[in-house]
Structure 1
Amino acid sequence: MDTDLRAHFLEGMSRVASAVTVVTTDGDAGRYGVTVSSMTSVSADTTRPSLLVSIHHLSPAGEAIRKNRRFCANVLSGNQSFVSDLFSGRLKHLNEDRFSAIPWHGGVTGAPIIDGAIVSLDCELKTALLWGTHFILIGEVEQIELSSQRSPLVYANRGYRRAIPIAPDDHQSHNPQNQLRVGFFITLGPEFVPSLVADFANQSPAVDLSLLEADHDDLLEQMRAGRIEAAITFGTVDDPEFTTEVICPSAPHVLLNADHPLATRASLRLAEVAGLPMILLDFPSVRGAVTAFFERNQLRPQIRLQSPSLAMVRGLVAQGLGYSIVPQNPQNKTAPDGTEIRAIPLDDDFPEGAVVAVAKSAGSRSALATDFISKCRKSFRHTSQ
C-alpha cells in the first residue's frame, strides 16, 4: 500500500465528524459490544428499514454478531463518552464485564439496548461482507427506542465533541418586514452585545430581533443560508457575496498573571512571550488566526492548555499557567474568581484581530440591518475611547 496515501487518508478521515455508536449483540455466541464511528442508514423504504455498521474483522464483537445474527446500534448521547471509552477498550480495568458498568436492557432481538442513548436500533443481521480489514454488516431494523436525549456524542479531530445548534430557531412565526437576525462571534457577546441590544430595542421596540452566537466560519455559513442578515466578527472575509467593514481596528493584548515578571511592561512584542506556555481560546478561527500571527513572525506558539471558554482561559491565566492573546483590550480584567489579570498591549501587527461587520451588499440588505451595523459602529467607537 502507498504509505503516504494511507497516512493522508487517516488524517482526512480524522477530520470527519461522526456520531459515536456502540454496537451490541447477545445470543449463543455471547454478549459483546464495540464502539464504532461508522454507522449509517442504508434504506428506509425496504420491507424494514436497514442500516450498516463496519467492524474490524478481529473484533470479538464482530464475530459474535455474525454468529448471533443480531445486533443493536446504540447512538450515544453527548454525556456518554464514558460508555464509548468502555466499549472501545480504553478502560482496561472494566474489560471483564463491561455491561455491569452501565444501565441497559434487552431489545426484541435480545441485543442489549443502552439506556440514555439518543436512539437504539435493534436489528436482524442480513449481510456480512469482508472488505479489507473490516466486516460491513447490514441489518434490518426490528425495534427502535428513542430517549429524551437529543444531542449526540460526536467524534472529530481525534477527540469527543458535542453537537450544538448554530442556526436560529426557525419554528417561531416572524414578520419578515419587522424581523432582524444578526450574529456575533461568540466571545463578543458577554461584554458587548447586551448593552447594544438594549439600546437598539429601546430605539426600535417593534423590531423582532434574533441573536446567534457562533464561531467565525459558522456565522458566514448561516449568512450564506439566509438565516442571519449581518454578523459582527473578527478578521477578514474573502467572499464577493459579502461586504466587510472594519468597525474597530485590531488592538491585540497579552493576558498575564498579575505577578508575572512581564506584567508591569507598558507593551510587549510577540517574540518576548512566544517561548512561554500559552493558553489558547479553542475555536477553529482563533486557532487559525493565532497560527498565522506566529508564522508571519517566524515563531511557533507553545500551547499548554486550551479551552472554548474565555472565562476558563482568563482563570487559567490568573493562576499563572500561561499567557493568552486577545484581539482587543478586554473590558473584564479579572478571572471568574475575582483574581486580577493584566492586559499588556502587543506591538505586533495582528489584522486578524480587527472587529468587522459582515453583510450583503448595501443594495441587498434590509434597512434594519444597515441601521444595526451603524449602531454597532458607534457602540464600538464609544467603547474603544
Structure 2
Amino acid sequence: MDADLRARFLEGMSRVAAAVTVVTTDGDAGQFGVTVSSMTSVSADTSRPSLLISVHHLSPACEAIKKNRRFCANVLSGNQSFVSDLFSGRLRHLNEDRFGAIAWHGGATGAPIIDDAIVSLDCELKTALLWGTHFIFIGEVEQIELSAQRSPLVYGNRGYRRVVPIAPDEDQPHRLESHISIGFFITLGPQFVPALVADFASQKPDVEIRLLEADHDDLIEQMRAGRIEAAITFGKVNEPDLDAELVCPPAPHVLLSADHPLAARSSLRLADLADLPMILLDYPSVRLANAALFGRNGMKPFIRFQSPSLAMVRGLVAQGLGYSIVPQAPQTRTAPDGKGILAIPLDEDFPEGAVVSIAQRSDRRSELAKDFLARCRASFGQADRP
C-alpha cells in the first residue's frame, strides 16, 4: 500500500468522531471484551434488527466471538472512559480480571451487559467476514437494554470527547411570545453570562432567553443554521455572512503554580515556556490557537495533560504539573481545592485571544439581538476581563 495514502487515511479517520463501544462475549470459548469505535446499525427491518461491528483479527475477543456465536455491543456513557481504557488494554494491571473491575450482568445470549452503558444490544452472530486486518461481524439483536444515561462517550481527534448540545431542545414549550438565542464560548459562560442575563432579563421580562455554551466552531455552525442570533467567542471570524466586532482585545496570561520557578517574573515570553510541560484546555479552537501562537514563533508546545474542563486545568496547574495559557487575565485565581494560581502577562501577539461578538449582518439582526450585544459590550467594558 502507498505509505502516504495510508497515513492520510489514518489521519482523516482520526478526525471522525464515533461513539465508544465495548463488545463483550461469553460462552464455550470464554468471556472476553474489547473496545471498538466501529459499530453501526445495518437494518431495523429484517426479521430482527441487525448491527455491524469490526474487531481486529488478533484480538482474543475476535476468536471468542466466532466460537461463541454471540456478542453484546455496549455503547458507553460519557462517564465511562475508565471502562473504555479497561477493555482497550490501557490499564494493564487489570488485564487479568477486567470484568471484576466493573458492574455487569448477563444478557439474553449470556454475553455481559455493562451497567450504565447508554444502550446495550445483545446479539446472535450471523455473519463473519475477514477484510484486511479486521473481522466484520453482523449480529441480529435479541435484547436491548436502555439505561438512564443519555450522553455517549465519544472518541475523535485521538482523544475522548464529551457531547455538548449545540441546539435548543425543540420539544420544550415556548411560553413567551418573544425569545432570543445567544451562544457563548464555553469558558466565558460561568463568569460572564449569569450577571449579563440577569441584567437583560430585568429589562426584558417578557423575553425568553435561550443559552448555548459551545466551542467556537460549533457557535459558528449554529449561527449559520439560524439557531442562535448572536455569540460571544474568542479569535477571528472569517465568515462573509456574519458581522464580527471586537469586544475585548487579547491579553494573554500564563497560569502558574505559586511555587513555579518562573513565579517571580513580571512577564514571560514563549521562549521561557517552550521546554516546560503545558496543561491544555482541550477544545479544537483552543488547540489551534495555541498551535498558531507557538508556530508563529517557530516553536511547538510540550503538552503534558489536556482536559475539556477549565477547573481541571486550573487544578493541575496549581499542583505544579505544568503551565497553561489563557487569552485574557482570569477572574478566578484559585484552583477548585483552594490553591492559589498566578497569572503572569505573556509578552507575545495573540490575536486568537481577542473576545469578539458575532451576529447576523445588521440588516438581518433583530432588535433584541442588537440590544443584547450592546449590553455585552458594556458589560465587558465595566467588568474585569474574563
TM-score (norm 1): 0.90
The one-letter code matched in structure 2 to 1:246 is L
Match of 1:72 in 2: 72
Aligned residue runs from structure 1 range 76-95, under 5 A: 76-95=76-95
Give the conservation status (yes or no) of the 8 Å contact 2:331–2:384. no
Aligned-residue offset at 1:338? 4.0
Alpha-carbon distance in structure 1 between the residues aligned to 2:152 and 2:311: 25
Q: What's the secondary structure of 2:187's corresponding residue?
A: coil
Aligned-residue offset at 1:113? 2.3
Match of 1:45 in 2: 45
Match of 1:172 in 2: 172
Give the conservation status (yes or no) of the 8 Å contact 2:105–2:114. yes
Give the conservation status (yes or no) of the 8 Å contact 2:176–2:206. no
Give the conservation status (yes or no) of the 8 Å contact 2:176–2:207. no
Q: What's the secondary structure of 2:364's corresponding residue?
A: coil
Match of 2:201 in 1: 201
Give the conservation status (yes or no) of the 8 Å contact 2:177–2:206. no
Match of 2:230 in 1: 230
Aligned-residue offset at 1:39? 0.8
Match of 1:108 in 2: 108
The one-letter code matched in structure 2 to 1:225 is A
The one-letter code matched in structure 1 to 2:138 is I
* Compared CA separation, residues 365 and 177, structure 1 to 2 (3 A): farther
Alpha-carbon distance in structure 2 between the residues aligned to 1:267 and 1:91: 41
Consecutive unaligned residues of structure 2, counting only runs of 5 or more, are none
Match of 1:254 in 2: 254
Q: What's the secondary structure of 2:363's corresponding residue?
A: coil
* Compared CA separation, residues 83 and 336, structure 1 to 2 (3 A): closer
Alpha-carbon distance in structure 1 between the residues aligned to 2:63 and 2:257: 56
After superposition, give the CA deviation of every residue in 1:188-209 in whole Å (9 maximum; x if it has no partner). Answer: 1222212211111111111101
Are 1:155 and 2:174 an aligned pair?
no
Q: What's the secondary structure of 2:329's corresponding residue?
A: coil
Aligned residue runs from structure 1 range 1-385, under 5 A: 1-174=1-174, 177-260=177-260, 262-383=262-383
The one-letter code matched in structure 2 to 1:165 is P
Q: What's the secondary structure of 1:363's corresponding residue?
A: helix
Alpha-carbon distance in structure 1 between the residues aligned to 2:92 and 2:257: 40
* Compared CA separation, residues 259 and 92, structure 1 to 2 (3 A): closer
After superposition, give the CA deviation of every residue in 1:144-175 in whole Å (9 maximum; x if it has no partner). Answer: 11122222222223333333323333221226
Q: What's the secondary structure of 1:222's corresponding residue?
A: helix
After superposition, give the CA deviation of every residue in 1:69-115 in whole Å (9 maximum; x if it has no partner). Answer: 32222222223333333333344454445434433333223333222
* Compared CA separation, residues 364 and 6, structure 1 to 2 (3 A): same
Alpha-carbon distance in structure 2 between the residues aligned to 1:70 and 1:261: 57
The one-letter code matched in structure 2 to 1:65 is I
Q: What's the secondary structure of 1:336's corresponding residue?
A: coil
Give the conservation status (yes or no) of the 8 Å contact 2:186–2:215. yes
Give the conservation status (yes or no) of the 8 Å contact 2:71–2:124. yes
Alpha-carbon distance in structure 2 between the residues aligned to 1:347 and 1:21: 45
Alpha-carbon distance in structure 2 between the residues aligned to 1:301 and 1:54: 35
Alpha-carbon distance in structure 2 between the residues aligned to 1:97 and 1:277: 34
* Compared CA separation, residues 347 and 102, structure 1 to 2 (3 A): closer
Q: Larger deviation: 365-374 or 66-75?
A: 66-75
After superposition, give the CA deviation of every residue in 1:2-51 in whole Å (9 maximum; x if it has no partner). Answer: 22222222222222222222222333433333222211001112222111
* Compared CA separation, residues 5 and 178, structure 1 to 2 (3 A): same
Alpha-carbon distance in structure 2 between the residues aligned to 1:169 and 1:19: 21
Aligned-residue offset at 1:236? 0.7
- Whose radius of gyration is greater, 1 or 2? 1
After superposition, give the CA deviation of every residue in 1:107-152 in whole Å (9 maximum; x if it has no partner). Answer: 2233332222221112222221221122111111122111222222
* Compared CA separation, residues 107 and 291, structure 1 to 2 (3 A): same
Alpha-carbon distance in structure 2 between the residues aligned to 1:99 and 1:256: 41
TM-score (norm 2): 0.90
Q: What's the secondary structure of 2:371's corresponding residue?
A: helix
* Compared CA separation, residues 126 and 179, structure 1 to 2 (3 A): same
* Compared CA separation, residues 225 and 59, structure 1 to 2 (3 A): same
Alpha-carbon distance in structure 1 between the residues aligned to 2:96 and 2:302: 40
Aligned-residue offset at 1:249? 1.4
* Compared CA separation, residues 152 and 110, structure 1 to 2 (3 A): same
Aligned-residue offset at 1:328? 1.7
The one-letter code matched in structure 2 to 1:238 is N
Alpha-carbon distance in structure 2 between the residues aligned to 1:33 and 1:143: 18
* Compared CA separation, residues 338 and 93, structure 1 to 2 (3 A): closer
Q: Larger deviation: 68-77 or 204-213?
A: 68-77
Q: Larger deviation: 338-347 or 222-231?
A: 338-347
Give the conservation status (yes or no) of the 8 Å contact 2:23–2:73. yes
* Compared CA separation, residues 193 and 44, structure 1 to 2 (3 A): same
* Compared CA separation, residues 365 and 321, structure 1 to 2 (3 A): same
Aligned-residue offset at 1:182? 0.3
* Compared CA separation, residues 189 and 82, structure 1 to 2 (3 A): closer
Q: Larger deviation: 349-358 or 103-112?
A: 103-112
Aligned-residue offset at 1:58? 3.1
Q: Larger deviation: 283-292 or 246-255?
A: 246-255
